Amino acid sequence: MTNKRGEETRQLIKKSACSLFAGKGFKQVTMKDICEAANLSRGGLYCHYGSTREIFREIINNFMIQQGDSFSEKIEHQLSAKEILNEVLEKYKNEMLDSQSSLSLALYEYFSIDNTETGNELCAQYTASFNAWQTLLEYGIKNGEFHHVDIKSVFDLIIFSYQGVRMYSKIMPIDEDIPQRIIDQIKKIIVKE
Amino acid sequence: MTNKRGEETRQLIKKSACSLFAGKGFKQVTMKDICEAANLSRGGLYCHYGSTREIFREIINNFMIQQGDSFSEKIEHQLSAKEILNEVLEKYKNEMLDSQSSLSLALYEYFSIDNTETGNELCAQYTASFNAWQTLLEYGIKNGEFHHVDIKSVFDLIIFSYQGVRMYSKIMPIDEDIPQRIIDQIKKIIVKE
Amino acid sequence: MTNKRGEETRQLIKKSACSLFAGKGFKQVTMKDICEAANLSRGGLYCHYGSTREIFREIINNFMIQQGDSFSEKIEHQLSAKEILNEVLEKYKNEMLDSQSSLSLALYEYFSIDNTETGNELCAQYTASFNAWQTLLEYGIKNGEFHHVDIKSVFDLIIFSYQGVRMYSKIMPIDEDIPQRIIDQIKKIIVKE
Amino acid sequence: MTNKRGEETRQLIKKSACSLFAGKGFKQVTMKDICEAANLSRGGLYCHYGSTREIFREIINNFMIQQGDSFSEKIEHQLSAKEILNEVLEKYKNEMLDSQSSLSLALYEYFSIDNTETGNELCAQYTASFNAWQTLLEYGIKNGEFHHVDIKSVFDLIIFSYQGVRMYSKIMPIDEDIPQRIIDQIKKIIVKE
DNA sequence: TATGAATGAGTCTTCATTCAT
DNA sequence: AATGAATGAAGACTCATTCAT
């Protein structure tokens, strides 16, 4: 492969840029910052990417692909709804506290600047996430493990409180108990007993 | 008062800047932008404020002062807990949808840049808000209008889902029903019947 | 006048830029060159003009205004056609040799880059010049001083040979006699005897 | 020959570059442009040429060699002076209108930048061209086909009006009749009857 | 020969900030 | 208080040019 070298550099750039975006948000990261972080010359960086937007776009594409809460697999593996719920909420809890690696702020900035092509990826992600949760909740309700909750409402509550905390955790010291309290409350709403 | 004129100018600057911050976030607003929006010369602006941070700080101070959910007054006026809750949730709902005038993004950026002196105002606001809600919830519980909920948990759920929606509404088209669903769900958690 | 200072600077910029354009053509002059020539900082220059095109445009506008061969005035002053012809050809001759101050090359470059809005000024100038010459030639022919030449043809020959020499004088050492020979030949075509 | 392939590439480069020079002038063509036009990598181009000047020089050398109005051959073939004149003026006329393929602007820029080594080729071309025309005109005059014109003057008029039109045709829409009028006028000057 | 990654210099452009008026 | 000209630094971007492969 002739482009082995190039691909490595691209990875390096993305990795370096990602740290910067997580740390400073989108707008406050410059091409110069990225050059320096990736230990690359100005022109060298421009060989691969023409702007911070371009780099960021690639990062979040990779990111969103690997994301995606898909519960169906687990359901097929005969896990109980409650177990799956516990697992995902645990994951959420950890993410809420992991302000370091969170791209939340950068994502908000990125999508808020120049709203033209925007929003679609986010909408898509929102929808995908909703579908996954719907599957899980219906499964739990059918099983008799979960209450007869309104799926949409519960989903919104989960997703937006999660996002809200992620956001805040970037800008103020968040009491470590907050994520725990939130997921406990959510469980209380959903799970019988 | 000799500084009548000066005060007017300051108000004008803050008003103009506020629109800009609401529209573009914090970092993407420059002193130059504000000059133009306020129809003021470069030097003129600098007579009053030395940086965008300074202007922004004053805006949010005013803002936080006028904010503050204080329910105690209403409680004294013998309103039922349920009525007060409905009122405040209605207010929240409207704010969630009012992406135009929301400073969310700007606030996040402001507080995320240069974390030194930061966070304190937000913490203070969080605490103040918590105290207010605590008062309300205890009042409702004592009255027998509300369930015996865990106050902290419910408060977190409310406040962060509210913040999450405000954030998202700035960057993607938010289904109008979402705020309604969220407050309905919250009521369900809190209110008996 | 508050803009006295600014106007002076603008004049200075145009003067400096004009020398540069005359010396190096259009494209090879950078904003940096102009800054230095005008002894102005980068930002200072940008206060007044946003690009070399903008500066150049203003220069040629001024230039074209002051230009314009208008013979009608002279005709009214009862000068003979031959005298007027001699005068203008003498002027042309001197301009042909004055390669230093000639903007020819710069003009060509300017108009050849990005042909959108282009050509119109040149067309206008060509037409205006033609009208002037038409007046003169008809006057001379009516007087009996000039041959019955085809006005358009003679005009084209004059104007394009003039332009051709101006161009060449910028890029190769032009024999000083060439302009003289050309205007002599033109006279021979036009003037009786 | 091992350099067959290399020679092909050089031709390709020159061909691609020539279109670019004709279209955009000399200075505005970059090595990068040429790479892209020739569908060659950066390094590949540098294997053959070190700069745009080098490429351009080779182009115009080829060009000037194939050029050269040489009338002597035709004179030996017993063509009448008038016929030869008609032929060459017809050729000139077509070239004047063929703004697409004209290198005029590029030539001017090339020779105007960095005047050190410059001008010589142009001078040589001017002289060669003059010699050819001198031969033709003397031939016609001796034949009695042409007037007793001043050879130098007529030559200058021809060559510079020709160049003037070529130049202008690159930068403004030229009336198609102009070249015709010019050559007609020239014929009128030269040819008897 | 040819590729394309990388460098580094040069220019463009935008702003925060200062200052004489 | 207010104007707007001017400065200088920072960052964006483009290329000529080199070099390992």
pLDDT (tens digit, 9 = 90+) per residue, B39-52? 999 999 999 999 99
Measured between alpha carbons, how far is D20 from D59 in angstroms, rounded to an integer?
12
Q: Percent of chain C having pLDDT more than 90?
A: 62
Cβ pair D156, C174 in contact under 8 A: no
Q: Which nucleotide is nearest to D51 (CA to C1')?
A: F16
Amino acid at D56: F
Phi, psi dihedrals of residue A3, rounded to the nearest 5°: -95, 20
Per mean pLDDT, which range of A131-145, A165-179, C44-58, C80-94 is the poorest?
A165-179
| A122 reaches B (C-beta below 8 A) | yes
C-D C-beta contacts closer than 8 Å? 146
Residue of D nearest to C23 (CA): D112
Q: Percent of chain B having pLDDT more than 70?
A: 92
How many angstroms separate the Cα of B149 from the Cα of each of A181, B85, B90? 12, 14, 21
Measured between alpha carbons, how far is A97 from C68 in angstroms, rounded to an integer?
76
pLDDT tops 70 at residue B140 = yes
Average pLDDT in the A102-123 region?
78
pLDDT tops 80 at residue C118 = no
pLDDT tops 80 at residue C65 = no
Highest mean pLDDT among A119-123, B140-144, D116-120: B140-144
> Residues D90, D93, D98, CA angle at the centre, nearest 5°?
130
Q: What H or E segment, with its residue span, contains residue B183?
A: helix B177-190
Q: In chain A, which residues have their Cβ closer than 8 Å to the Cβ of B162?
A: 160, 164
Measured between alpha carbons, how far is B10 from C12 in angstroms, rounded to an integer?
38
Measured between alpha carbons, how far is D95 from D89 in angstroms, rounded to an integer?
10
Q: Percent of chain D having pLDDT more than 90?
A: 62
Say whether the CB atom of C43 is under 7 angstroms from strand E.
yes
Which residue's CA is nearest to the C1' of nucleotide E7?
A41
Measured between alpha carbons, how far is C31 from C37 in angstroms, rounded to an integer?
10
Measured between alpha carbons, how far is A136 from A154 in angstroms, rounded to an integer?
12
Which chains have 3 or more CB–CB distances shorter than 8 Å to chain B?
A
pLDDT tops 60 at residue C176 = yes
Average pLDDT in the D101-116 region?
80
Per mean pLDDT, which range of A179-183, B121-125, C155-159 is the poorest?
B121-125
How many angstroms separate the Cα of B77 from the Cα of each of A3, B71, B74, B83, B84? 74, 10, 5, 12, 11
Instruction: Extract long-range pairs of A18-24: CB within 8 Å, 24+ residues apart.
Output: A18/A59, A18/A103, A21/A56, A21/A59, A21/A103, A21/A106, A22/A100, A22/A101, A22/A102, A22/A103, A22/A106, A23/A100, A24/A106, A24/B112, A24/B113
Quote the distance between the C-alpha of residue C58 and its chain's center: 14
| Residues B50-76: tens digit of each pLDDT | 999 999 999 988 877 666 667 888 888
Measured between alpha carbons, how far is B93 from B183 in angstroms, rounded to an integer?
7
How high is the pLDDT of residue A3? Answer: 60
| D182 reaches C (C-beta below 8 A) | yes
Say whether the CB atom of C191 is under 7 angstroms from strand E.
no
For chain D, report the end-to-end CA distance as a whole number of angstroms: 58
Q: Tell which wins on pLDDT, A111 or D142.
A: D142
Please choose, from the candidates D80, D89, D86, the residue with its C-alpha nearest in 3D space to the C-alpha of residue D145. Answer: D80
| C186 reaches D (C-beta below 8 A) | yes
Reduce the DSSP state of residue B103 to 3 states and report it.
coil
Please choose, from the candidates C37, C68, C60, the residue with its C-alpha nearest in 3D space to the C-alpha of residue C108. Answer: C60
A28, two tokens: 């406050």
Please choose, from the candidates D24, D27, D19, D21, the residue with its C-alpha nearest in 3D space to the C-alpha of residue D114. Answer: D27
Average pLDDT in the C102-108 region?
86
| Residues D50-76: tens digit of each pLDDT | 999 999 999 988 877 666 667 888 888
Interface contact flag, C24 D167, Cβ < 8 Å:
no
| Residues A70-86: tens digit of each pLDDT | 788 888 888 899 999 99
pLDDT tops 80 at residue B133 = yes
How high is the pLDDT of residue A2? Answer: 46
Residues ≥6 apart with Cβ < 8 Å to D17:
D29, D34, D37, D38, D52, D55, D56, D59
Say whether the CB atom of C52 is under 7 angstroms from strand E.
yes
| Residues B17-40: tens digit of each pLDDT | 999 999 888 999 999 999 999 999
Average pLDDT in the D130-157 region?
95
| Residues A12-32: tens digit of each pLDDT | 999 999 999 998 899 999 999
Which residue's CA is nearest to the C1' of nucleotide F19?
D43
How high is the pLDDT of residue A115? Answer: 61
DSSP for chain C reads -TTHHHHHHHHHHHHHHHHHHHHH-STT--HHHHHHHHT--HHHHHHH-SSHHHHHHHHHHHHHHH-----HHHHHTT--HHHHHHHHHHHHHHHHH--TT--HHHHHHHHHSS-SSTTHHHHHHHHHHHHHHHHHHHHHHHHTSB----HHHHHHHHHHHHHHHHHHHHHSPPPTHHHHHHHHHHHHHHB--
| Summary mean pLDDT of chain B | 89
Q: Where are the beta strands (DSSP E) in chain D?
A: none
CA atoms within 13 A on the CB side of C18: 15
Cβ pair D181, C150 in contact under 8 A: yes
Q: Which residues numbered 23-42 in chain A sit less than 7 A from strand E, measured from CB?
A: 40-42
Please choose, from the candidates B98, B24, B12, the residue with its C-alpha nearest in 3D space to the C-alpha of residue B55. Answer: B12
Measured between alpha carbons, how far is D160 from B16 in angstroms, rounded to an integer?
62
pLDDT tops 60 at residue D1 = no
- Chain B: give the shortest CA distance to residue A4, in Å: 37
Average pLDDT in the C132-152 region?
95
Interface contact flag, C160 D157, Cβ < 8 Å:
no
| Residues A89-108: tens digit of each pLDDT | 999 999 998 877 788 889 88
Q: Tell which wins on pLDDT, A74 or B153.
A: B153
pLDDT tops 50 at residue B1 = no
pLDDT tops 60 at residue A67 = yes
How high is the pLDDT of residue C1? Answer: 41
